[in-house]
Chains A and B, each alone.
Chain A
């Protein structure tokens, strides 16, 4: 169970890094 929790957190961190660097790039492109 502990292993699964760790994996889940790592997956959330990964998704957050990808999503927010993508969103920042979108913001930097002057669309907003």
Chain B
């Protein structure tokens, strides 16, 4: 007889006969649905490594007693490393912007700032450092700034809006979803404190449903008015309940509280799924109306 591998502490309940079925197992891949893999840009990471000789050089200046040289080289090193940090943050903000249907541009143009910092750093390293030519430094600095802008591009500067909605609506949706995503992140953080893989998996699958509601609202900003209660009241309530439960359960393994919390999770899951179906049904109705109107016109015109 074959038996699936899994024990008392496996995240999937019901796989071990000694514990009995403890609810439906989460769907396969539920924890990754609605998420995107983060891309790693090797060139952007290499920018952390390239300036390292400057640090060694500054140490060399200390050894040879050149205080000014040390300051210039440490300054250049600092600028180049800050540029690498800012660029990587900028790329992350860019990816977040690209992932959304509706998004505001990042408040700080990080990629642009990073390119300017790189130029200044290269200028200091090759123009001001003792024994170098300032003109060459300016040219190298300008070349570095333009190469960085060419390699990594500019920051997104315009707000992206959904089809059919105006700018104001799009901005409201973007803000509401931003806040809701924060709440989801807080719920996940609180869940990790519980230290129970099974509950963690359940909350993760619940959050996958929540993210589907986000995507639905993004696709049709008119849904925001109806989704507001869901995004606000339910989600914040779930966060507070999760926090309290995590605090209690990490202090004392209270099985009664756990059963209550699991019941809450089931209710929330049912409610979130229902909610999304309602939102989609509304889209269906408006699609049906549009199709009907168009077909009637075609019939009238004798097609």
Chain A contact residues, CB within 8 Å of chain B? 6-8, 10-15, 17-19, 21-26, 28-31
Q: Can you identify 27 A-B contacts, CB atoms within 8 angstroms?
A: A7-B151, A8-B43, A8-B151, A11-B43, A11-B152, A13-B143, A14-B148, A14-B151, A15-B47, A17-B144, A17-B147, A18-B51, A21-B122, A21-B125, A21-B126, A22-B50, A22-B125, A24-B126, A25-B54, A25-B73, A26-B57, A28-B129, A28-B130, A28-B131, A29-B66, A29-B73, A31-B56
Chain A residues positioned under 8 Å from B53 (CB to CB): 19, 22-23, 25-26
| Cβ–Cβ contact A25 & B151, under 8 A | no
Evaluate contact between A25 and B125: CB separation under 8 angstroms.
yes
Q: B143 to chain A: which residues have CB within 8 Å?
A: 13, 17
CA distance A28 to B122 in the complex (A): 15
| Of the residues A8, A12, A29, contact of B57 by C-beta under 8 Å | A29
B199 interfacial by beta-carbon distance below 8 Å: no
Q: Report the tally of A-B residue pairs with Cβ distances under 8 A.
A: 97
Within 8 A of A (CB), among B188-213: none
- List chain B positions with a Cβ less than 8 A from chain A: 43, 46-47, 50-54, 56-58, 60-61, 63-64, 66, 69, 73, 76-77, 80, 118, 121-122, 125-126, 129-132, 140, 143-144, 147-148, 150-153
Which residues of A have CB within 8 Å of B63? 31
The reply to whether B125 and A29 contact each other, CB–CB distance below 8 Å, is: no
In the complex, chain A residues whose CB is within 8 Å of the CB of B51: 18-19, 22
CA distance A18 to B143 in the complex (A): 10
Contact of B118 among A18, A23, A25, A26 (CB under 8 A): A18
- Check A29/B151 contact, CB under 8 A, given A17-B122, A22-B52: no
B218 to chain A, nearest CB (A): 28
Residues A30 and B150 in contact in the complex (CB < 8 Å), given A15-B46, A17-B140, A24-B126: no
* Complex Cα–Cα for A14 and B143 (A): 8
